[in-house]
Structure 1
Amino acid sequence: MDVTASVDEEDDMETTRTELPTVTVAAVRAPVPMSGLRDFYDTAYTRVAEAAAREGWAIAGPAFGWYRGMPTDTVDVTAGFPVDGVAPGTSSGGVDVLDLPGGDALVLTHTGSYDALPEAWARLEQDSAARGVQARGDFWEEYVTEPSPGGDPEANVTRLVLPLRAGA
């Protein structure tokens, strides 16, 4: 595994290049207006958790949001959780089990409010350009910590993943 890093002394965000495994996930996919993204996530995560409980699927990691292209007024987004013990192609109540494809990727971990995620993504894109690599076209966020009502948004940890084109 080739791992390289660059660190910005001002914000301590580190971009790492790594080879990610393909992960089986249970998720809901939809085209969503940007203004409805928060409601979509809330509904999708609830539906996936209910399907997992009903079907006996083991949730095996943090919630994620997988974007199939750059957002405009709407975005093609898939939201759910990694799961163990269920085969891709399975579905239950509008929740589908599929593979989140792995491969060569740049990864940056952001600690702080979700409001600062656009700046973190901009940083990851700058690092990608500086390395001379090209994105595959999709990307995702893994919500490592679960926000809680009344919790400190600055304590949120989000892992940003930018898959790279083969041979990049």
Structure 2
Amino acid sequence: VAFADITSFFDRVFTAVPAAIHAAGVVPAGPAFARYNSHPTDTVDIEAGFAVSEPYEGASEVSVGEDGVVAGELPAGRVATATLRGGYDLLSAAWPEMIGWVMSQGEHPGEVSWEVYVTEPTPDADPAAMITELYCTLLERSST
């Protein structure tokens, strides 16, 4: 996804995914999230959706981009986390601050990171009241 098109991507996904999982009889088990599979540049390898209470099986009639709605998993392992209180416009500063903190602790960020949108975004939402959790995978420590 082109980074400039990320808002329209989220608009499509966060409309289509609830419809697809509801049609499959699956219930969301938490707020929306976005998973970044690499560090964003002018494009981003991104997945977005909802945690679910049970496995989401098979394909869906709903299409979001080329791949439709498919099940995925967040990675297991160590992560660093931070909580952002404020609008999404603050994310561009929050991520480098978090990564800087991770590195100051002698850790190294992995490729995968994700955001959990604790506060549901709506057109009437007060940006100051929004809460977003940031998660960054950590590389395994060397045993040497």
Superposition TM-score, scaled by structure 1 size? 0.76
RMSD: 1.4
In the alignment, is the contact (CA less than 8 A) between 2:103 and 2:109 conserved in 1? Answer: no
Q: Distance in 2 between matches of 1:137 and 1:76?
A: 11
- In structure 2, give the amino acid aligned to 1:49: P
Q: 2:58 aligns with which of 75, 79, 90?
A: 90
Q: Distance in 1 between matches of 2:88 and 2:126?
A: 11
Report Cα offsets for 1:62-116 as digits up to 9, x if no partner: 11111111111111100100012215x6332311112211210100000001111
The aligned residue for residue 90 of structure 2 is 116
Q: 1:49 aligns with which of 18, 25, 37?
A: 18
Q: Distance in 1 between matches of 2:76 and 2:118?
A: 18
Report Cα offsets for 1:122-160 as digits up to 9, x if no partner: 110111111111112111111000122222111110000
In the alignment, is the contact (CA less than 8 A) between 2:28 and 2:51 conserved in 1? Answer: yes
- SS at 1:79's partner residue? strand
The aligned residue for residue 31 of structure 2 is 62
| Larger strand percent | 1
- Shift of residue 47, structure 1, vs aligned partner: 1.2
Runs (4 or more) in structure 1 with deviation over 3 Å come to none
Identity among equivalent positions (%) equals: 38
- SS at 2:93's partner residue? helix
* Count of matched residue positions in the alignment of Structure 1 and Structure 2: 136
In structure 1, list runs of 5 or more residues that go unmatched. 1-31
Superposition TM-score, scaled by structure 2 size? 0.89
